[in-house]
Structure formats: structure tokens, C-alpha cells
């Protein structure tokens, strides 16, 4: 059972939107995590400094919040690790073929009303709905 946290969710969504707007305003770049991360891998992009800062902020900020709030976030997955790895590889393929990830298309592209991002977001949301339906209702797993 997941807790209903509308204020925390609203605040988190606002911070994601703010970071996307600031990255676009100051660097003219889309806040797609896959693209940002790929610029840190060899061959390293010439604009690695802001990329490293963005990734560091995405890692350090939750750690700071947890240390200040003294609240542990429990995580338990009923899905076996091999399925998690396989699904991660499938998502990685989707990111490659759609030229972007959920943060790039779903957050930034949708806000810009990009037709390509609208199509990509509709496609990955439909695939997610279909996958959950098949796994939970037709196969009866997880």
C-alpha cells in the first residue's frame, strides 16, 4: 500500500519543473536524464561540468532530505532481479529508439507541445498500461 502524499508530490513535481526551466533558461538544454548522463560517459562532452552538477544534485538532494527529515523510505519489490534487469534493458532500447527518455519527452517535450514528444509520451504510456494489464490480469504475476 502506498501513502497518498499530495503535498509532497506537488512539491517534488514543482522542483522537477523548476530544474527543467532553469536548465533551459541558463544552458538552452532539455532536462532529459539519459542525454545528460550520456554526456558524462566516454567520449566525455565538452559541457560536462553542468552535466556532472545536475547528476550530483539528483543524487545528493534526496540524501540531504532523508538526513534532515530522519525518515527512512522503505523499498520492497515483488519482482525478481532478472525481470528488473530485462525490463531496464527494454526501457534502454526504447530510450535509444525514441531519441529521449521520460524526463526529456514527458516533462520538457510535453511542456513545449512538441509533436514528437507528444507521440513518444503517448506511446510509452500506452505500453506501460498494456504491460501492467498483461502482467497483472492475463499472466497473473507480480
Domain boundary among 76, 100, 119: 76
The verdict on 123 and 109 lying in the same domain is: yes
Please report, to the nearest 10 degrees, the dihedral formed by the alpha carbons of residues 33, 99, 96, 92 taken in order. 40
The verdict on 85 and 67 lying in the same domain is: no
Per residue in 48-83, pLDDT tens?
A: 999 999 999 989 988 888 889 887 777 777 888 898
- Which cell numbers in the block locate residue 90? 527494454
- Which cell numbers in the block locate residue 16? 522537477
The verdict on 66 and 88 lying in the same domain is: no
The verdict on 16 and 70 lying in the same domain is: yes
The verdict on 55 and 83 lying in the same domain is: no
* pLDDT (0 to 100) of residue 2: 64
The verdict on 119 and 109 lying in the same domain is: yes
The verdict on 41 and 102 lying in the same domain is: no
Contact assessment for residue 18 and residue 10, using Cβ atoms and an 8 Å cutoff: no
* pLDDT (0 to 100) of residue 139: 87
The verdict on 55 and 31 lying in the same domain is: yes
Whole domain around residue 53: which residue ranges? 1-76
* pLDDT (0 to 100) of residue 131: 87
The verdict on 83 and 31 lying in the same domain is: no
Which residues of the chain, if any, have pLDDT below 70? 1-2, 141-142
Amino acid at each position: 500500500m502506498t501513502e497518498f502524499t499530495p503535498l509532497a508530490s506537488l512539491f517534488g513535481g514543482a522542483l522537477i519543473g523548476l530544474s527543467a526551466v532553469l536548465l533551459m533558461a541558463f544552458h538552452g538544454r532539455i532536462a532529459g536524464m539519459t542525454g545528460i548522463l550520456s554526456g558524462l560517459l566516454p567520449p566525455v562532452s565538452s559541457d560536462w561540468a553542468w552535466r556532472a552538477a545536475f547528476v550530483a544534485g539528483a543524487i545528493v538532494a534526496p540524501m540531504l532530505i532523508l538526513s534532515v527529515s530522519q525518515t527512512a523510505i522503505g523499498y520492497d519489490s515483488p519482482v525478481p532481479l532478472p525481470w528488473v534487469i530485462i525490463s531496464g534493458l527494454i526501457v534502454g532500447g526504447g530510450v535509444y529508439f525514441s531519441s529521449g527518455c521520460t524526463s526529456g519527452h514527458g516533462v520538457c517535450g510535453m511542456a513545449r507541445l512538441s509533436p514528437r514528444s507528444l507521440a513518444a509520451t503517448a506511446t510509452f504510456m500506452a505500453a506501460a498500461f498494456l504491460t501492467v494489464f498483461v502482467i497483472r490480469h492475463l499472466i497473473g504475476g507480480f
